[in-house]
Amino acid sequence: MRPAGARLRRLWPSLAPGAATRVSVALALTLSVSVALAHPMLVIGEVRFLPDPPVPGRSASVVLNLQDTSLTEVEDAVVFLELREGVPAAENDQPRGEPVVSTDRLEETAPGVYETTIAVPALGDYTLSIRDRTYRQEEAVANVELVLDGEPVDFVPFVLPPTATGPTSLGSWLVWLVGVPLLAGVIVTVLVLRSGRDAKAADETGAAAAEPPGEPEG
């Protein structure tokens, strides 16, 4: 793959050596701020078991995949799982009773992929709670029905609602959806113009140095 600086030099030939790299770094940093601050937004996920179907009385791996609404992997999340008997009365109702399975923080084994191992309970209907505690003193919870009947579970989808942390108002959403890309464009434009002025000044200096000295006055 061609380096970012080389691609930028093809787009803006006036960039001085090293300027394309500075533009790449500035743009990447700006976009990374947008990604980091997007975590409190809606998160889409799915759960699966390995092996599938899980066998009661044996251990099984539980694998979570987390993505935001732009299908970007959600990294560095702090997630836990709880499994209770019975199904939720309604969507996002808090389940009652003590969990028959409760996990420690899931390990992130790949970007946006989280895993843990549980002891599979007896066959039956359960409520699986996915608890996102990434932000201190805040928690996003998704409660989904999980049926263990000896058949493959396949993928169980869920949605984690936004937490209070981060941009949840319409104005804030507009800032992150419009303001951040606009800021990235401004940074790139400023760096390109500055690079062009530096290159022009360097050319003029070189041309002046190359001119032959004038004839001595007689």
pLDDT-derived band at 194 (thresholds 50, 70, 90) equals: confident
**Which of 125 and 183 is assigned the larger pLDDT?**
125
For position 94, what pLDDT does the model report?
Answer: 63
Residue 10's DSSP bridge partners are none
Residues 6+ apart with CB under 8 A from 42: 68, 69, 159, 160, 161, 162
CA distance 99 to 96: 9
User: Which whole number is the average pLDDT over 176-196?
Assistant: 69
- Asked if pLDDT for residue 30 goes beyond 60, the answer is no
For position 59, what pLDDT does the model report?
Answer: 95
For position 3, what pLDDT does the model report?
Answer: 46
Closest CA to 159 of 7, 48, 78, 46: 46
pLDDT per position as a tens digit, 64-89: 999 998 899 999 999 999 999 987 66
pLDDT per position as a tens digit, 99-113: 999 999 999 999 999
Residues 6+ apart with CB under 8 A from 187: 23, 26, 27, 30
Where do the structural domains in the chain lie, given as residue ranges? 4-37+168-200, 43-160
For position 187, what pLDDT does the model report?
Answer: 75
CA distance 81 to 119: 12
Q: What is the CATH number of domain 43-160?
A: 2.60.40.1930
Strand runs labelled E in 43-96 = 43-50, 59-68, 79-85
82 φ, ψ (degrees, to nearest 5) = -135, 140
- Structural contact between residues 84 and 100, judged by C-beta atoms closer than 8 angstroms: yes
- Asked if pLDDT for residue 215 goes beyond 90, the answer is no
Q: What is the DSSP code string of 143-205?
A: EEEEEESSS----EEEEEPP-SSS--SHHHHHIIIIIHHHHHHHHHHHHHHHHHHHHHHHHHH
- Structural contact between residues 112 and 46, judged by C-beta atoms closer than 8 angstroms: no
The alpha-carbon radius of gyration of the chain (Å, integer) is 27
Q: Which residue type does 44 have?
A: I
* Burial of 182 from C-beta contacts in 10 A (0-12 / 13-18 / 19+): exposed
